[in-house]
Amino acid sequence: MHITKDVIYAGVSDKDKDLFEGQYKVPNGVSYNSYVILDEKTAVIDTTDGAFCDEWLSNVERALAGRDADYLVVQHMEPDHSSNIIGFARRYPEALIVASEKAFSMMKNFYGSSFEERRVVVKEGDTLALGRHTLSFISAPMVHWPEVIMSYDACDKILFTADGFGRFGSTSEEDEWKNEARRYYIGIVGKYGPQVSSVLKKAAALDIKTICPLHGPVLTKNLEYYIDLYTKWSSYTPEEDGVVVAYASIYGNTRAAAEILAQKIGEHTNVKLFDLSRCDIHEAIACAFAYPKLVLASSTYNGEVFPSMRAYISGLVERGYRARTVAFIENGSWAPMATKQMRALLEGCKDLTFTEAGVKILSSVSDKNRDEIEALAQELCSK
Ligand code: FEO
């Protein structure tokens, strides 16, 4: 697939993957993107997951159309992109390997070689001249590892963004982007919002017509839409008004309260309801970053919060959850403790506001609880 006359897609689709990074469900698979630039010199940008070495090398060979590879640019060392560096180096023994200093250290640790004899170490602002195309490198630490560089080709106005702007699922630009890109971003890079913001500021100075990420579609249209979402996500700004109601229920009574509340909220604004014991927890985590308000509803269990709620809050905290309004629904047949526990688990989060209204259930939803739910719905929908 030609992206421009000189830039060719050489990546692969992994349709059989069950869990990306061993935890994220990918029902529509995931792609490992790689690109070939043909010029006076040729450059290959990134490799792929190790399971696809032969397929990827064959794609590269086809893209090179009989020419040799002069450079392999390694933007990111996570194994979903770096696993075939050795395979490439063997296939193209004359090619130089281009990467950051940190990436070469990681190469040694991962693959036993830092390519002392054939390496080009680059840093922020360095360039690699290929002919008409010159790659300028942008340091992008923690987007998503410390060694990451992005590459800008001013000739075709392409920004190669490593994991940035990646998405689970297919490489089709026509497929819905936002939800799977958000689940990818929040799950994998969400903790590093300030670092992403910093790279976005650098990118704002560039004339970009195409974004080439290492996962998902090459982005060619309406780039402001994607950049706006990334600006929001990296600054922990909600995308739009709405409430996530996430519940952990044992016998259905906490669920009943959550459902009543969600129904009431849904009469006024967006609402998403998640059963934390059954849903894709990473979708529930990502969704909490999309909306400004979150309701946590949990049974008390062994004097603690219910396990699936603990995992959920831990997932939020780990990814820098902040600047949101949070409400609690707790249930406990003899000693409700869940609200206290949930609030304590959120202690490290910045700029949280807690609602005045809350719900305390003693086994099943009472008339008093219905009034509490009504008051909570009103408070959540009135601000
Ligand atoms: Fe797609 Fe951080 O690797």
183 CA to centre of ligand 1 in angstroms: 14
- Catalogue the long-range contacts made by 228-231 (C-beta closer than 8 Å, 24 or more residues apart): 229/178, 229/181, 229/182, 230/164, 230/165, 230/185, 230/196, 230/200, 231/197, 231/200
Residues 98 and 190 in one domain: yes
What are the pLDDT tens digits along the chain (383 aa)?
Answer: 999 999 999 999 999 999 999 999 999 999 999 999 999 999 999 999 999 999 999 999 999 999 999 999 999 999 999 999 999 999 999 999 999 999 999 999 999 999 999 999 999 999 999 999 999 999 999 999 999 999 999 999 999 999 999 999 999 988 899 999 999 999 999 999 999 999 999 999 999 999 999 999 999 999 999 999 999 999 999 999 999 999 999 999 999 999 999 999 999 999 999 999 999 999 999 999 999 999 999 999 999 999 999 999 999 999 999 999 999 999 999 999 999 999 999 999 999 999 999 999 999 999 999 999 999 999 999 96
Residues 229 and 247 in one domain: no
Residue nearest to atom 3 of ligand 1 (CA): 78
Q: How far apart are CA 74 and CA 107, in angstroms?
A: 10
Q: Among residues 234, 266, 283, which one ends one of the domains?
A: 234
Interacting residues of 181 by C-beta distance below 8 A, sequence separation 6+: 165, 166, 167, 168, 216, 226, 229
69-120 residue pLDDT tens: 999 999 999 999 999 999 999 999 999 999 999 999 999 999 999 999 999 9
Interacting residues of 116 by C-beta distance below 8 A, sequence separation 6+: none
Flag whether 192 is in a domain. yes
Residues 209 and 247 in one domain: no
Ligand 1 atom closest to 188 (CA)? 2
Flag whether 1 is in a domain. no
Ligand 1 atom closest to 214 (CA)? 1
Using a 6 Å CB cutoff, which residues line ligand 1? 76, 78, 80-81, 144, 163, 214-215
Number of domains in the chain: 2
Confirm if 83 and 53 have CB atoms less than 8 A apart.
Answer: yes
Q: Among residues 207, 234, 261, which one ends one of the domains?
A: 234
Residues 137 and 266 in one domain: no
CATH number at residue 222: 3.60.15.10
Residues 156 and 50 in one domain: yes
Residue nearest to atom 1 of ligand 1 (CA): 163
Residues 97 and 199 in one domain: yes
Ligand 1 atom closest to 145 (CA)? 2
Rounded to 5 degrees, φ, ψ at 301 are -145, 120
Domain containing residue 372 = 243-381
Which pLDDT value is given to residue 175? 87
Residues 281 and 315 in one domain: yes
Residues 180 and 140 in one domain: yes
Residues 220 and 295 in one domain: no
Residues 272 and 307 in one domain: yes
Which pLDDT value is given to residue 174? 85
Rounded to 5 degrees, φ, ψ at 164 are -60, 140
276 CA to centre of ligand 1 in angstroms: 26
Ligand 1 atom closest to 144 (CA)? 2
Flag whether 2 is in a domain. no
Rounded to 5 degrees, φ, ψ at 345 are -65, -25
265-293 residue pLDDT tens: 999 999 999 999 999 999 999 999 999 99
172 CA to centre of ligand 1 in angstroms: 19
189 CA to centre of ligand 1 in angstroms: 9
Q: 152 by DSSP, 3-state: which?
A: strand
Confirm if 270 and 243 have CB atoms less than 8 A apart.
Answer: yes
Which pLDDT value is given to residue 171? 94
Residues 106 and 161 in one domain: yes
Flag whether 248 is in a domain. yes
CATH number at residue 319: 3.40.50.360
Flag whether 291 is in a domain. yes
Q: Among residues 214, 234, 254, which one ends one of the domains?
A: 234
Strand partners, 298: 248, 330
163 CA to centre of ligand 1 in angstroms: 5
Flag whether 259 is in a domain. yes
Confirm if 98 and 122 have CB atoms less than 8 A apart.
Answer: yes
Residues 131 and 46 in one domain: yes
305 CA to centre of ligand 1 in angstroms: 33
